[in-house]
Structure 1
Amino acid sequence: MGVVNVTPDSFSDGGLWFDAEGAINHGLRLAAQGADIVDVGGESTRPGAERPPAEEELRRVVPVVRELAAAGVTVSVDTMRAEVAHQALVAGAHMVNDVSGGLADRDLLRVVADARAPVVLMHWRGHASHMQEHADYDDVVTELIAELRPRIDAAVAAGVDPGRVVIDPGLGFAKTWEHNWSILARMPEIVAAGFPVLVAASRKTFLGELLADPHTGARRAPAQRDAATAALTTTIALDGAWCIRVHEVPANMDAVLVAARLGAEAH
């Protein structure tokens, strides 16, 4: 899954694809490089981010979704709002990626069900402006799985086909860096929950911290975390994740192919 952030303030590439033409061209490029899905979002969810008005999110997202879908790209819309999900699905989106797991807007799951679309339900404990206040766990993996189960039940109760539910452990969302590493190390437990798993580790801050300059302590810049992202992609794929959400496709595509070959050899 390739990422198209139609935002001015995303942590990795905010502003690079903020105009519709740039975002469309970037999405087409990601698809041409091998992305199976292009995820279009108009709201930054970096820690501390404030939400744009719904009208602004619609203005950012819908034209990009429409053009990419018209070009034959399989599009996911990254939104927490039912109205944005609805209009994006009408414009040709195939799937809804809701980082709130249906909690931010209780109508979103009904919209997804009515469209007979797949939905990604991410583990979430609050909006970006205050989510890190809730990064408190006794056992992060056990708790996030337990907290996702009611979200899955809510989706099914709303009419979503259980076979079209994907889960996401929510790296970085109400999680410390240590929590993120624990989740990645225990990925098979999340896969064993029985639903396809989407993982979004690309360029995240915990990688910047790992790769910090040994002399100054300065974190590695987001755009310089792609090699580490590809390394993680290999392990995530070997652990059985359904999809990996990334900012740059080619190296991660290679990582998935390596993992697939190793997995075939093991079996």
Structure 2
Amino acid sequence: MVAIIKAYARPRQLYRYRSLVGDEPEKFRQELDAIVQGHVYCPGYKSMNDPMEGSHRESALLKGSVRRDRTVAEVRQVIDSLGIASFSETMDHEPMWAHYAKNFSGICVEYNVKRLLDNLGNENELVRMTYGEKAPMLYRDRETAENRAKMILSCKSVRWASEREWRLIRPTIGAAPYELRTAVTSVYLGSRISDEHEGIIRAELHPLKIPVRKMEVDTYAIAFEPKKKTTRIKKTK
């Protein structure tokens, strides 16, 4: 018998910062369709903005092992194949609005964690990032290449700790579909979002009853407009 690690606490909501403009002309449509159609797109690690992403160290025993090259190659192959989507525990982190939502012109999507997990396939895993001063270590042990790859992709430099990141990891790069549309509980708009993008988002999310809340800037503070309450019409006798 051995002790195992368990995580009993998880956030009720997670947030995904998204830019609406990019190198691809269809970027805006891709991001909105992900919400409307119900999926989370998981790109490969090479698309992440941290150049240290996927780094690792090797123990002395592994370096001296005849299987070292094969082990590292197998891990690297798995890392290259996995799809990753990043989330944060917070939706009012100014640097993330600047970096990941294109200078406050993008959006931040709020997910209900339980609903999302209940409606994703069991091939998907949600992991909490760990942060350290040194890259994760590969050892000469019997761990699988898949678990080693996921361990590497679940670690970042401590300098990124303020992002409070969680990651959805899936076996392949691509969309992770979920059936329950209410997994998305709000969409937050950056203060610099274009009028065109704002109008389309509000029009397409209104029938889905997904609240859209625009950022309001007050000196060094940001806030969001409150959720609009649905007015019920009383039936007349």
Could you say which TM-score interval applies, normalised by the shorter chain?
under 0.3
Greater helix share, 1 or 2? Answer: 1
Greater strand share, 1 or 2? Answer: 2
Report the TM-score, using the length of structure 1 for normalisation.
Answer: 0.24
Larger radius of gyration between Structure 1 and Structure 2: 2
Higher relative contact order (CA 8 A, sep 6+): 2
Report the TM-score, using the length of structure 2 for normalisation.
Answer: 0.26
